[in-house]
Structure formats: C-alpha cells, structure tokens
Amino acid sequence: MRSIFLTILLIISNLLIYSQPMQSKTKILLLMGSRFEITAVHSSEAIIDESIDVAIEEVKRIENLISEWVEGTEVDLINKNAGIKPVKVSVELFTLIERCKKVSALTDGAFDITWASAWKLWHFDSTLTKVPSQAQIDEILPLIGYEKIILNKQDTTVFLTQKGMKIGFGAIGKGYAANKARDKMKSVGIENGIVIAGGDLITWGKMANRKNWTIGIADPENPQNAIAWLEVGEMGVVTSGNYEKFVMINGKRYAHIINPKTGYPATGLISVTVIAPDAELCDALATGLSVLGPAKGLGLINQMRGVECVMVTDSNQILTSKGLSLNYYKNNKKNQTHQITIGQKKR
C-alpha cells in the first residue's frame, strides 16, 4: 500500500471567506485492498456525508467489476475463457479495456494489462523465494501482449487469444476508481474534495480554507519526508513505486512492476509520479514509465500536453518533465524540499 507514499497537507483554516462556513470531513477505510481517504468540503454536513457514502458505494461497485480475484466478475470470466471464447461484458469494462490498449500503444507496450499472465511466476509476497528461471519466463512470455486482447465493439465482447492468458487492472484500477468516486461526489454537489486511493489521488476545487490543495511527493528513501510539494486545483497525482512492494532474493530487490517484454521486474526508477487531470491516465502512465525508464519515459511525457511527471532514479536523481518548474529550491541535497508548479507551456 502506498498511503505513506504521498503525503497530503490539509491546512485547516477558520477564515470564513464565504457567507456560509465550509467544513471538511475525511473518511478513511479499506477498499480494493488499499487504504482510501475520501474528503469532502461543503457547508452542509448532510451533503458531505451523502457524498462520502456514494463514493464508497462506487468504489465497491468498481472493485466487483474489475477484480480478477473475485469469482464471477466480468474480468474473472474473460480470464477463464482465455483461448476458448469471447466473453460479453458491460460497456463500462469494454471501454476501460479499450483505454488500456491505447495506453499500451502509447507506451510501446510498457503498460500492459496482460502482464497478469506472469502472475503465477511473480507473487511478490513471502511465497516468492527464488527467481523464476529463464525457461519459466520463456513459457509465459507468449501469453503477454496487449494485441492478443481482441475487442469486438459491436457485441462488446473481449477475447484473450491464448490459453493461460490473463488480464489484471492493478496498475489502473485505483486511478479509475478515484476518477469515478470524484464524479459521484460532484453529482451530489461537492465542488471541493480529494479522493486518495491507496496513494493515487485526485483533487478538485479547493481546501476548506479556500487555498489550493497541497500535495507532497514522498521521498522514496524516507517516505515521511517530501521531495517536492505541488499546489493543485483539479488534478490527479499518482505515484508508482518500485521500492514499496517487492521481495528480496539473495540480496537483490525484485519489485512488482513487470517489464512485459522481458518478463522480469522493471529497473532503473524507484518512484514515478504522474500529474494530469485524469487519475486513471496518471495511474497507467506511472506504471508504464516505471518500465520505460527515465530517458524514454521523459521523452514520452514531454510530448504530451497537460501531463507532467517527477521521477526518482535508483541513483536518487530527481528528474522532472519540461512543464514542471521548480519555483523554490533550498539546495540540491537529498531530502530537501522543492516546491513545483504545473502547467508551464511545453516547447
């Protein structure tokens, strides 16, 4: 879980700028196997409570749609019918998979939901005690590849062409859920809020004191400290960490993001934060960039309008995309805080 990964600074102020005082309420609970923090800002406590309830319901609904672990979900049925037959799914899941394939194409296959075919080799818990052999990896590699997901738009069916293939939404599900929870909260009148889904977050409006949301990007070496602070309005901020979920085998760290081309864990970056209005896109890109590495990753983000990133390499270098500017810089020692702003024009 990455709740420690991003720290949120919520400055509570009693300044009453508007005629009705704004209040802020946060509910923390476990959803999708992760710590969720749902905060609503409004003058009416009843509306705040209602909004938090509808957000929770929405996240539970999404979990039941996309979990590959819960028996009988649409995703479970797709996986069980791999190499057998196409499975009819809801428009919601169908379009999510369509978007996943688009991000796969954008990242040259670095983000790929068919990575899940490798799940049986890479458990990332205490059951993983030795590195899979090259022969084992070679066996599963033909099962990985987003182009082997066949989508039929007319019938909304999904077909995985190879027996043993699997899809999994671990790299995008929380971002999607954050977007949708925000939408639900807005629909009941919440114009200011933040949803933190296991460290992936989306903000909108302002804090109760009418200031912008201030988001800290954690120092991978010492997650209590921030390496940078971001001031944001309506924005997704999502971090993928290659240091947080991993196993140690013979003194070497094997982390939970798999390079779909090699079948082995990605290396080179220990933390990637993507900043863009769409938390789902941020989530998918953060995972994809972790695989692509610093040079290709920055190259991609620097071509995308409205998307920025902060990366920490395994040699502790902090890299930022062109549209982020450091407007406060104490010194260049590790663990010092930078404040950065978003939205500079890209060349």
Q: Please count the residues of this chain forming the interface with ligand ADP, following the rule CB under 6 A.
A: 21
| Site mask for ligand ADP (CB under 6 A), range 250-269, x = bound | ------xxx-x---------
Phi, psi of 333 (to 5 degrees): -75, 150
Q: Which residues between 283 and 302 bind ligand ADP (CB under 6 A)? A: 283, 286-287, 291
Collapsing DSSP states into helix, strand and coil, what is residue 310? strand
Taking the complex as a whole, the smallest distance from the CB of residue 177 to Mg ion amounts, in Å, to 12
Select from ligand ADP, Mg ion, none the partner in contact with residue 112, using the beta carbon and a kind-dependent cut-off of 5 to 8 Å: ligand ADP
Burial of 25 (0-12, 13-18, 19+ CB in 10 A): middle
Select from Mg ion, ligand ADP, none the partner in contact with residue 256, using the beta carbon and a kind-dependent cut-off of 5 to 8 Å: ligand ADP
Q: Which residues between 195 and 234 bind ligand ADP (CB under 6 A)? A: 198, 200
Of 81 and 243, which has the nearer Cβ to Mg ion? 243
Taking the complex as a whole, the smallest distance from the CB of residue 12 to ligand ADP amounts, in Å, to 28
Here the tokens at position 199 are 């460290």
The reply on whether position 286 binds Mg ion by CB under 5 A is yes
Here the tokens at position 136 are 């084992």
Collapsing DSSP states into helix, strand and coil, what is residue 273? strand
Collapsing DSSP states into helix, strand and coil, what is residue 342? coil
Select from Mg ion, ligand ADP, none the partner in contact with residue 73, using the beta carbon and a kind-dependent cut-off of 5 to 8 Å: none
Which range, of 30-38, 61-69, 84-92, 236-244, touches Mg ion by CB under 5 A? 236-244
Taking the complex as a whole, the smallest distance from the CB of residue 265 to ligand ADP amounts, in Å, to 8
Pick from 39, 79, 156, 240 the residue near ligand ADP by CB under 6 A: 240
Checking DSSP bridges between strand 6-9 and strand 213-219, what pairing results, if any? antiparallel
- Of 55, 54, 92, 89, nearest to 73 by C-alpha is 89
The reply on whether position 166 binds ligand ADP by CB under 6 A is no
CA atoms of 114 and 143, how far apart (whole Å): 7
CA atoms of 290 and 82, how far apart (whole Å): 28
The reply on whether position 37 binds Mg ion by CB under 5 A is no
Is residue 196 a contact partner of residue 1, using CB atoms and an 8 Å limit? no
Q: Which residues between 169 and 188 bind Mg ion (CB under 5 A)? A: 171
Q: What angle is formed at CA 122 by the lines to CA 106 and CA 93, rounded to 5 degrees?
A: 45
Of 40 and 118, which has the nearer Cβ to ligand ADP? 118
CA atoms of 140 and 165, how far apart (whole Å): 9
Select from ligand ADP, Mg ion, none the partner in contact with residue 178, using the beta carbon and a kind-dependent cut-off of 5 to 8 Å: none
Of 33 and 189, which has the nearer Cβ to ligand ADP? 33
Which range, of 94-102, 168-176, 179-187, 263-271, touches Mg ion by CB under 5 A? 168-176
Residue indicated by tokens 């400055």: 11
Phi, psi of 123 (to 5 degrees): -90, -25
CA atoms of 104 and 171, how far apart (whole Å): 12
Is residue 324 a contact partner of residue 316, using CB atoms and an 8 Å limit? no
Taking the complex as a whole, the smallest distance from the CB of residue 100 to ligand ADP amounts, in Å, to 8
Of 87 and 291, which has the nearer Cβ to Mg ion? 291
* Cross-strand bridge partners of residue 274: 238, 309
Of 204 and 254, which has the nearer Cβ to ligand ADP? 254
Q: Please count the residues of this chain forming the interface with Mg ion, following the rule CB under 5 A.
A: 5
Is residue 301 a contact partner of residue 308, using CB atoms and an 8 Å limit? yes
- In the complex, the residues that contact ligand ADP under the rule CB under 6 A are 2, 111-113, 115, 168, 170-171, 174, 198, 200, 240, 245, 256-258, 260, 283, 286-287, 291
